[in-house]
Amino acid sequence: MPRRFIRRYMPHPDRVKENRSLRFLGTLIHDPNLWHLNRHSVARAMAIGLFWAMIPMPMQMLAAASCAIPSRANLPIAVGLVWLTNPLTMPPVFYCNYRVGTWLLGTPTFAMPEHLTLDWVTSLLQTHWQPLYLGSLVMAILLAGMGYSLTQLYWRWWVGRSWRRRQANRLQDKQSADHS
């Protein structure tokens, strides 16, 4: 199962629970379902993480954690996926979201400057925030749905493949035992 691969990169739950900065959550993060790796919790975490990664706002990780806890999604995956929009990927991702928003609203677009500056980003947010947030919301919903669905499909495929392999191994073992 993909569990081994995911576990390799996940922090240990005890280390996260003992983190001082998360004390305000109290016992909410002690729910074992927030740390389980099963098809449903991982798929929910994918949807939550991808959704909040597309929304241009500060403290996306807090928003993802706030959604993951009540929905019992895998907390580290949901919070970690928010980093898809990091300082390197934020400008092109949010510019694409902005372009989607302008297309949906039918408004003219700002051209991407040769050199990104804080002044350009600030002026864009002040004058063109509606297409940015509409495009971001649309992309967030689309990516969340795709992330959830593709995770469910991949997990089912992986389990089916494992079952078929085990069945083939059992059949092979039985045939080799019959020939002995």
What mean pLDDT is predicted for residues 59-75? 90
Residue 1 has pLDDT above 60, yes or no: no
pLDDT confidence bin for 166, thresholds 50/70/90: confident
CA distance 24 to 3: 29
Q: How far apart are CA 167 and CA 180, in angstroms?
A: 20
What digits encode the pLDDT tens for the residues 2-28?
667 666 766 666 666 666 666 666 667
Enumerate residues 6+ apart whose C-beta is below 8 A from 169.
Answer: none
Percent of the chain at pLDDT above 90? 32
Paired tokens of 90: 């934020």
pLDDT digits (tens, 9 = 90+) for 124-160: 777 778 888 999 999 999 999 999 999 999 989 988 8
**Spatial separation of the C-alpha atoms in residues 39 and 156, rounded to whole Å:** 8
